[in-house]
Structure 1
Amino acid sequence: MERKMHMTQYKELFQQAQIGKLKLKNKTSMAPMGPVGYADAFGAFDQRLQDYYVERARHGVGLIITGICSVDVNIEGMSTAGIPCPTVEPLKFVHNAYQMNERVHAYGAKIFLQLTGGLGRSALPGFTTKQIAPSEQGNRFDPSVTHREMTKEEIMNLIQKFVMSAVVAKRSGFDGVEVHAVHEGYLLDQFAISLYNHREDEFGGSLENRLRVSTMIVQGIKKACGKDFPVSLRYSLKSCMKGLRQGGLPGEEYEEAGKDIEEGIEAAKILVAAGYDALNVDAGTYDSWYWNHPPMYFEDGCYREFGEILKKAVDVPIILAGKMENPQMAVEALGKSCDIVSYGRQLLCDAEYVEKMRTGRLDEVRPCLGCHEGCLGRIGNGPVSCAVNPACGRETIYGIVPAAVKKTILVIGGGVAGLEVARTASIAGHKVILCEKSDALGGNLIPGGVPHFKRNDHKLIAYYKRQMELLGVDVRYNTVVTADSAAQYEADVIVVATGSKAKKINLPGSGKTVTAEEVLLDKVSCSDKVLMVGGGLVGCETALWLAQQGKEVNVVEVLPELLGGHGALPHMNEFMLYDLLKYHKIGIYTNAQIVETGDAVTIVKKDDETIELPSETIILSVGYDSDDQLYSELKDLEIPVYNIGDSQRVHNIMYAIWDAYELARNI
């Protein structure tokens, strides 16, 4: 009865939709996410990428829009194994894609191939060997790298390669294509925005001229593939940037340096008139990168206002993503902000999301944390995947298989690593006993998920608790396992996942210190003038959380940079957190040391300058130490004993889960 109620509640999402003359079985879509690392040597979809899309089709998505495929890898000198490209070896591309699309269509889903003209000045260093742009300018990430102006011949060749790619896509069985154009500050968006485009020919100057590449592309595709072959457009209504390499935060007042809403509306009308059948809407550019790939600091439904504006301006379907995982929000957005609701990272985390939503099993959904560690954070180091779903992108080669020999496994510790071991091992058929010394599961995610912007950490705990119930894991709370008591569980394998403990250091002076964990868990009171000692991720996020409560916060970090240095976090998370710290007027003192603490003031030395900072509360956030004592006491038993998670090495959530999954699926 409860599941029927849920199905009725969200039935609007499961009614038919339409793009041009193409009918979709429901109003859900898989958002395009770059398939970096999933092309074979011929530029075709490799088997892993095929399985990745089929898995989402299998679980109810109405429309799949693939991640970007280059129309010509030679334009910027990309590797053929970087992202797929229909024009490298068209027959090979057709061969691989056609068999994938046959499988996708078996589930009633439709699929569009997304085509990109390239990165231009937004290319990550090392990703391309030829640096081009609409006009000469510096690279977004490394201004010392200059991108030369494209010739008219190169532009016309690019347009033709879009058309050729669409022809290949149609032959491959795709139901339509999406042009990755006036969006995110990629090459075609650079043509569209006057800040980047200083050309004086027919591809520069007026808005119509700056959009000419994109309008010629859709006109060429329609001529080659037929007027009824659907072409959607990935479209950013607003650039959300203060200037080059500087984003504007949600709610912040600033003068738009790129494309403002007024121009965005005008451009949308021109593009729809040219022939685009749908707009796949978001906001931002690489200069405001966190808008295109919203970290956890964004609120849910962050693009709804942009979709609502465009719904009033154009008469084609609006596809809208942007943290739309709340089904009630998605239902309310239909007809007002969009016609189709799109899900991106949520479908990386949980390929079954749409079907779970349809059947009222939201408590079984594995949530996206907004961390970017497993998806965009892996570009350059590995294929796109997901921090909380290790099997993402390798569904058929890295799934959980039934164990040949069923064992009794004792898991010691109910943090995220221990929970993932218990989940995976139980699915494989083992009997699992999980012992947690406290009265709650979650470990460091419990304090970590306290700030509103980290709320999905607590959703991840809830997901694991529900999995323990569904899988019948024997969870024993308030149970301390010792070297002496371990034998009573008669386990065949022991997995130690005892986590880590916050480091404590002695500071000079009379000031009393507390840990970030104690403050987050409200074990100690926190005054209005706070000094945070340690500028890593925990320190900075705790500082932000306190500043959002109206407290005066200063951060002191001994190293030259916060957050472990540039690149330690995925760029979009790093950029946004830095901007938020600045926006909330949090004092940042790097290369600084504590000279003396007091009850209300702390003396800090930065370079050759001595500074007095208010410090009614001094919070330590100087890292964690592995709690591996129990493992040391058990490791020499005559049965296998493993150490996993922070008790093995202090790392992030992704590696706690990935290491645990690797271990448990092979026990």
Structure 2
Amino acid sequence: MDKKYSILFDEVSIGSCVIKNRFAMAPMGPLGLGDSEGGFNQRGIDYYVERAKGGTGLIITGVTFVDNDIEKHDMPNCPCSTHTPVHFIRTAREMTEKIHAYGSKVFLQLSGGFGRVTIPTNLGEHPPVAPSPIPHRWLDKTCRPLTKEEIRRIVVQFGKGAYNAKRAGFDGVQIHAVHEGYLLDQFAISMFNNRTDEYGGSLENRLRFAREVLEEIKNTCGSDFPVTLRYSVKSFIKDWRKGGLPGEEFEEKGRDIEEGIEAAKLLVEYGYDALDVDVGSYDAWWWSHPPMYQEKGLYIPYAKMVKEAVNVPVICAGRMDNPDLASDAVRDGACDIVSLGRPLLADPDYVNKLKAGDTASIRPCLSCHEGCMGRIQEYSALNCAVNPQACRESAERLIPTQHKKKVLIVGGGVSGCEAARVLALRGHEPIVYEKTGRLGGNLIPGGVPSFKEDDHALVAWYENELKKLNVEVHLNTELDAHDVINFDADVVIVATGSKPKVFSLGEGPLYTAQDVLLGKVDIGNDVVIIGGGLVGCETALWLKDMGKNVTIVEALPKLLAVNGPLCHANSEMLKELIPFKGIRTITSAKATAYDGKVLKVNTPDGDIDIAADTVILAVGYAPSDSLYKEVEDEIPNVYLIGDAGNVSNIMYAIWNAFEVAKNID
């Protein structure tokens, strides 16, 4: 272990619970990990146990509901400790015993409900509830206010849920949450709580629900049973469904820092044993679920404010995967425990690898949200873009081959690299040929902007993994159909990726975003990007940060219209950053001509001229599948994977390759 990280491996206590190191697994929605009776299914058990096996000191489960009557949830959805208690205890006990075998502790996260922020795919036909008749976050609906009798029922259910958790072997619970604008937080924030009874008005009244939950659990489970709280010290709400951006001046409509610190003190005074601190809300989702456009360690300053105000342990998550940043945060007194969410989806062995000094082997999280929140919001399924085995540890476990085969892989992009890695792990002999001077494919230009640094980190990870596995890699070598047919391979995988779509608009030169990002183009001051998808918008941000005058011309009525599933945190932040940074956008528009100085654009309001030193095309990619078409009828065992087969995103390129490579035998 590097000595500078030793502080991360000190023991730490939450109440009576002693944790072997300062790492916690942050709670993430366990969609797909529960069964129809409210227990943990085998995928859920395997998922949490794998992170304990990987060295994480404290596992905090994703949200589990305590009530399924007042705010109904379709089953199976998330686990529910009160739905069928005997069944929940039976499945959860199996999980906690396995987690304890690795010396880790585990807390069950208990939720009283989502209220106005329930994601529509999880809401079904059930009416949303809230403290008051306020607008739903996603739907054009007004929430139904809870009665005092319903509040009391939820409080009692918390006690029952915690009792069942204790019986099941959990070492404590975390309350979900005076955080992110969930139901308890809606009661705590005056913007959402217009009640005139004892649950509304003063801060103490607005925190009454959270206080009664704690008291019920302590009365039921004993004062020495740890109860922690997920807590947001600031909401970043400008208005209904409108969030503030980093560096933006605005009037806070939710909880400001002053009230946030006061509330933290009260919550600890009530008896909460630790605060799991972040900032944000569903109205400013890019704070609660930070995409790559947010800085790493973005919660550290807020956690430190809370830490200086309370005398219980503070947990801090929020892009904390850089161990230098994490150890500095603990050493500086900003937090006691470092919480890793998506980084543990990407690599369940993060903690053990760090302890062993093998940081190069830690598979990086891209903060892309494609496999986690993107799939949760669209398909109610938790996964990971860069780790196809996340939440499918047993189902996707690699089985060693009994028939070693020589596999030719044409293309060293992310799909080709993943195929080679999986094949080598299973005992095959993959050989990679890449026509350029390095592995990585489209991740190389894609990772040029500073906010996409983890794309390049993923490339470095693949380079390291293939080297460790002794995979034969040939760079600067392009194979043609004759080479492939005569290679004498048992299996051929074509992973030749995709190429940017191009067209002409007259005499003026047009450049692809890829060439611009790779530094192959002299960029003028006035830049127009044709295409407002993900590549166009991210390139625009990068150029604007370089001081360029940038305009986006998009044929569709809005930006990011064809990308998906993008998590709302990513897409909404990117859409808000474009005008905030001063990038001009022209939608429902078509570029018609360019002479090298002026771009002519047809808009719904007529034709306009835009001064342009440089015009960049970001209008999508086309599969590079010509090699495959030449060889598919000449070779019996040939596969087409990644963008070469279907242009998509990093997640599907990796998943595609994993699926094919794990089944070659």
TM-score range, shorter chain: over 0.9
Tell me the residue number matched to 2:261: 265
Quote the offset at 1:126 in angstroms.
Answer: 4.0
Cα displacement (A) at 1:280: 0.3
Q: Match for residue 485 of structure 1?
A: 483
Quick one: distance in 2 between partners of 1:253 and 1:598? Answer: 41
SS in 2 for 1:603: strand
- Aligned residue for 1:553, secondary structure, equals strand
**Is residue 291 of structure 2 the alignment partner of residue 295 of structure 1?**
yes
Q: Distance in 2 between matches of 1:638 and 1:475?
A: 22
How far is 1:145 from its partner? 1.2
Deviations for 1:88-119, whole angstroms, at most 9, x for unmatched residues? 10000000001110110011000000011111
Q: Which runs of 5+ in 1 are unaligned?
A: none
CA contact (8 A) 1:101 1:174 kept: yes
Correspondence for 2:43 among 38, 45, 48: 48
The 5 Å alignment of 1:617-628 reads 617-628=614-625
Match of 1:72 among 67, 85, 98: 67
Corresponding residue for 1:90? 85
Note if contact 1:296-1:454 (Cα within 8 Å) is conserved in structure 2.
Answer: yes
Q: Are residue 255 (structure 1) and residue 277 (structure 2) matched?
A: no
- Are the aligned partners of 1:598 and 1:615 in contact in 2 as well (CA < 8 Å)? no
CA distance in 2, matches of 1:37, 1:568: 17
Contact 2:233 2:279 in 1 (8 A): yes
1:389 to 383, 387, 390: 387
Query: Alignment partner for residue 663 of structure 2, among 655, 662, 666?
Result: 666
What secondary structure, in the 3-state scheme, does the structure 1 residue paired with 2:97 have? helix
1:162 is displaced (CA, Å) by 0.9
From 125, 129, 137, give the equivalent of 1:140: 137
| Segments ≥4 residues shifted beyond 4 Å | 565-568
Q: Deviations over 1:394-427 (max 9, x none)?
A: 1011111101211000000000000000000110
Give the match for residue 186 of structure 1: 182
Partner of 2:553: 556
* 1:487 Cα deviation after fit: 4.1
Partner Cα distance (1:558, 1:473) in 2: 44
Counterpart check, 1:282 vs 2:278: yes
For residues 227 and 85 of structure 1, the distance between their equivalents in structure 2, rounded to whole angstroms, comes to: 23
On the 8 A contact 2:374/2:565 being kept in 1, the answer is no
Unpaired runs of 5+ in structure 2? none
Answer with 320-329 or 72-81: which moved more: 72-81
Cα distance, 1:312 vs. partner? 0.6
Contact 2:370–2:565 under 8 Å retained in 1: no
SS at match of 1:287: coil
Report SS of the residue matched to 1:489. Answer: coil
- Partner amino acid, structure 2, of 1:587: R
Q: Aligned ranges for residues 392-431 of structure 1 at < 5 Å?
A: 392-431=390-429
TM-superposition CA deviations, 1:284-305 (whole Å, max 9, x none): 0000001011001111111000
After superposition, the Cα gap between the structure-2 partners of 1:433 and 1:274, relative to the gap in structure 1 and judged at 3 Å, is: same
- SS at the partner of 1:313? coil
CA contact (8 A) 1:63 1:111 kept: yes
Deviation at 1:488, TM superposition (A): 4.5
Query: Is 1:612 the equivalent of 2:592?
Result: no
CA contact (8 A) 1:73 1:80 kept: no
- Does the 8 Å CA contact 1:75/1:130 hold for their aligned counterparts? no
Deviation at 1:550, TM superposition (A): 1.2
SS of residue in 2 equivalent to 1:347: helix
> Paired residues, what number?
660
2:120 to 112, 120, 125: 125
Is the 1:16–1:23 contact (alpha carbons within 8 Å) kept by the matching residues of 2?
Answer: yes
Q: Any idea what SS the aligned residue of 1:501 has? A: strand
Percent identity of equivalent pairs = 51
Q: Which secondary structure does the structure 2 equivalent of 1:73 belong to? A: coil
Cα deviation for residue 240 of structure 1 reads 1.2
Pairing 1:199–2:233 present: no
Task: Choose from 222, 242, 262 the match for 1:246.
Answer: 242
Q: Partners of 2:113 and 2:656 in 1: how far apart? A: 35
For residues 331-359 of structure 1, what are the alpha-carbon distances to aligned partners after superposition, in whole Å with 9 as ceiling and x for unaligned? 11115110011100000000000111111
Aligned equivalent of 2:437: 439
Report the Cα offset of residue 474 of structure 1: 0.4
Assess if the C-alpha contact under 8 Å between 1:563 and 1:569 holds in 2.
no
Which secondary structure state, in structure 1, belongs to the residue aligned with residue 276 of structure 2? strand
1:52 aligned partner, one-letter code: Y
1:643 aligns with 2:663: no
Question: 1:290·1:572 contact (CA, 8 Å) conserved in 2?
Answer: yes
Are residue 374 (structure 1) and residue 358 (structure 2) matched? no
**Alignment partner for residue 502 of structure 2, among 497, 501, 504?**
504
Q: Give 1:220-239 correspondences, 5 Å limit.
A: 220-239=216-235
Contact 2:485 2:635 in 1 (8 A): no
Q: Distance in 2 between matches of 1:381 and 1:35?
A: 12
> Cα deviation per residue 1:231-259 (whole Å; 9 max; x = unaligned)?
00000000012111111111222221110
The one-letter code of the counterpart of 1:529 is: D
**Hey, what does 1:15 align to over in structure 2?**
10
The aligned residue for residue 170 of structure 2 is: 174
Please state how far the C-alpha of 1:568 moved relative to its aligned partner. Answer: 4.3
CA distance in 1, matches of 2:595, 2:469: 53
Distance 2:206 2:4 in 1: 44
Identify the residue that residue 330 of structure 2 maps to in structure 1.
334
What is the Cα deviation at residue 565 of structure 1?
A: 4.8
Larger deviation: 585-594 or 174-183? 585-594
Name the structure 1 match of 2:347: 350
Q: How far apart in 1 are the matches of 2:380 and 2:580?
A: 34
User: SS of 1:524's equivalent?
Assistant: coil
Q: Distance in 2 between matches of 1:596 and 1:666?
A: 50
| 1:485 match: secondary structure | helix
